[in-house]
Amino acid sequence: MEIFGRSRRQLAFAYALIMGIFLAVIIFVVHMAMNWSMFSEQAQELSDAANSVAEVQTFYLQNPYAAVDENRYFKTSNDRLFFYIFSDDKQLIRFERASFRIEQFVLDVIDSWNIDEGEVEVFRHSNEMGQLNTVMMTSKKIVTDNTTQILYVGKDVTALYSGLQKATYAQVFLGFVALLIASAIGYFMAGRALVPLKEAYDKQKQFAADASHELRTPLAVVMASADLLLADPSIENPFLRQVLEDLKSEVKKMTNLVSDLLMVARSDNNALKFKIQRLDLTEILKQVIRTMTPIAEKKDIRLAGEDFRKALINADEQKIKQLAIILVDNAIKYTPEGGAVLVRLEKVDNSRVVFAVMDSGIGIAPEDLDKVFERFYRVDKARSREMGGNGLGLAIAAEIVKLHDGKISVASKLGEGTKFTVELKVNLKK
């Protein structure tokens, strides 16, 4: 059943979407948290290193005759750490060089330094070979009584950041795999959840089919009994005769409803008997016009056929007749007295035949156009009931067209009229 398949896909999709958003948020948060913790840890190390270098340099500035021991500058030995000390007039005083790979970049950064003292900043740079280098740097002023120097301390964190990037890629990949698995599970679970619903739906369809089938016989008996009573000359009282007439007309309405219901239920169960034969659509349309003319005449409506010519198709005669009757009957029902209904053969070629039923009636509002083919849908319930309608006519018409692999469409303007167009295949095979 199409509706269950669609619901299953929609459920699985909604589930996958929620999972996708959830996973994306998790990956994003984890990435940010790792980034933040890595940055704060490295920034702390850099600040400690800067303090240590500044302390040692201050000592040597205050004790100019002490022998300089380069090893004292960094408390911990770390070959990724580097520093440069410049005098006030931008002379390089002392340094621990950054690796050759990044030194030029580091010097350029220092050259255009405009970051507050003590702030730690990450700088990225791609070299000519496309390799991305990442350094973290901070600055500190070294002030003694007679000089001011500026210290830049940095760390090559390329490996750390590229590790973080790889970890994030791995998370995205795993997230994607998890999403695929979750979608498959979601699809499977949605299918399982729909099983009882589908069973209940099938039972309900079967019930509608059985009930309408079983109702036909008693209704036929009531109808025959009413006919019998009406034929009895001993019932002379006009009131009683009227009661019998009313009874007959109500039973007739009910019989129609029951047979419509049966038709719909059978089409749901794919149990519609379908007998394809070669027939001339024009002949059927002519017959329908003949049958419906008395009804049209009662309302003073002109019912006519137009452009009729031979139109041979493969179809089920009874069903096509029923389809044409539904459309013409509606056209007459929803057209005020004195109007016109036209049945026109619009197109006949090798592959398809198109006919239309047009009226000059009340029309259908644009927002109702899509819905008129739904079961039990009636734009104006009171008017439809008054005319003997039950809202199943067009649903059955659409079903018949579908059975013939054809198309039905409607165009309408409120107050001006409606046109139903049906396209049928010439060489339908079943």
Binding residues for ligand ADP (CB under 6 A) = 330-331, 334, 359, 361-364, 372, 377-380, 384, 389-395, 418
Q: How far is the CB of 396 from ligand ADP (least distance, A)?
A: 8
CB of 223 to ligand ADP, least distance (A): 21
From the CB of 326, what's the least distance to ligand ADP, in Å?
6
- Helices and strands, number each (H, E), in the chain: 9, 12
Who contacts 357 (Cβ-Cβ below 8 Å, separation ≥6)?
Answer: 324, 327, 328, 331, 341, 342, 343, 419, 420
Nearer to ligand ADP, 46 or 398 (CB): 398
Left (φ > 0), alpha (ψ -120 to 50) or beta: where does 377 sit? Answer: beta
Q: Which two tokens stand for residue 149?
A: 């120097």
For 97, counting Cβ atoms within 10 Å of its Cβ (0-12 exposed, 13-18 middle, 19+ buried), the class is exposed
Nearer to ligand ADP, 171 or 384 (CB): 384
Minimum distance, C-beta of residue 377 to ligand ADP, in the bound complex (Å): 6
C-beta contacts of 183-190 below 8 A and 24+ residues apart: 183/12, 183/15, 183/16, 183/19, 186/11, 186/12, 186/15, 186/16, 186/19, 187/8, 187/9, 187/12, 190/7, 190/8, 190/11, 190/12, 190/15
CA distances from 407 to 41, 341, 354, 395, 396 (A): 70, 21, 9, 13, 13
Closer residue to ligand ADP in complex, CB, 121/368: 368
If we measure between CA atoms, which residue out of 59, 15, 53, 385 comes closest to residue 179? 15
For ligand ADP, the closer CB: 359 or 399: 359
How distant, in Å, are the alpha carbons of 165, 234, 408, 418 from that of 264? 61, 42, 17, 24
Q: How far is the CB of 389 from ligand ADP (least distance, A)?
A: 2
d(CA 265, CA 207): 9
- Which residue lies nearer to ligand ADP by CB, 317 or 368? 368
Q: Are 380 and 367 in contact (CB under 8 A)?
A: no
Q: Tell me how far, at minimum, the Cβ of 265 lies from ligand ADP, in Å.
A: 16
Q: Which is nearer to ligand ADP, 31 or 375 (CB)?
A: 375
Tell me the closest approach of the beta carbon of residue 410 to ligand ADP, in angstroms.
Answer: 8
CB nearer to ligand ADP: give 134 or 421: 421
CA separation for the pair 2, 226 (Å, rounded): 44
CB within 8 A of 302, min separation 6: which ones? Answer: 296, 339, 340, 341
Taking the least distance from each CB to ligand ADP, the nearer of 142 and 392 is 392
Q: Between residues 162 and 259, which has the closer beta carbon with respect to ligand ADP? A: 259
**Nearer to ligand ADP (CB atom), residue 99 or residue 259:** 259
**Shortest distance, CB of residue 359 to ligand ADP, whole angstroms?**
5
- Give the residue with the Cβ less far from ligand ADP, 264 or 311: 264
* Cα atoms in the Cβ-side hemisphere of radius 13 Å centred on 177: 5
Distance separating alpha carbons of residues 27 and 30, to the nearest angstrom = 5
With H, G, I as helix, E, B as strand and everything else as coil, classify residue 67. coil
User: Structure tokens of 64?
Assistant: 């100019």
Question: Shortest distance, CB of residue 363 to ligand ADP, whole angstroms?
Answer: 6
Q: Cβ(354)–Cβ(422) under 8 Å?
A: yes
| The pair of three-digit structure tokens given for residue 33, joined into one six-digit string | 């948290």
Residue 123 and residue 109 in contact, taking contact as beta carbons nearer than 8 Å: yes
Phi, psi angles (nearest 5°) of residue 123: -120, 140
* Minimal distance, residue 380 CB to ligand ADP, in Å: 6
CB of 297 to ligand ADP, least distance (A): 18
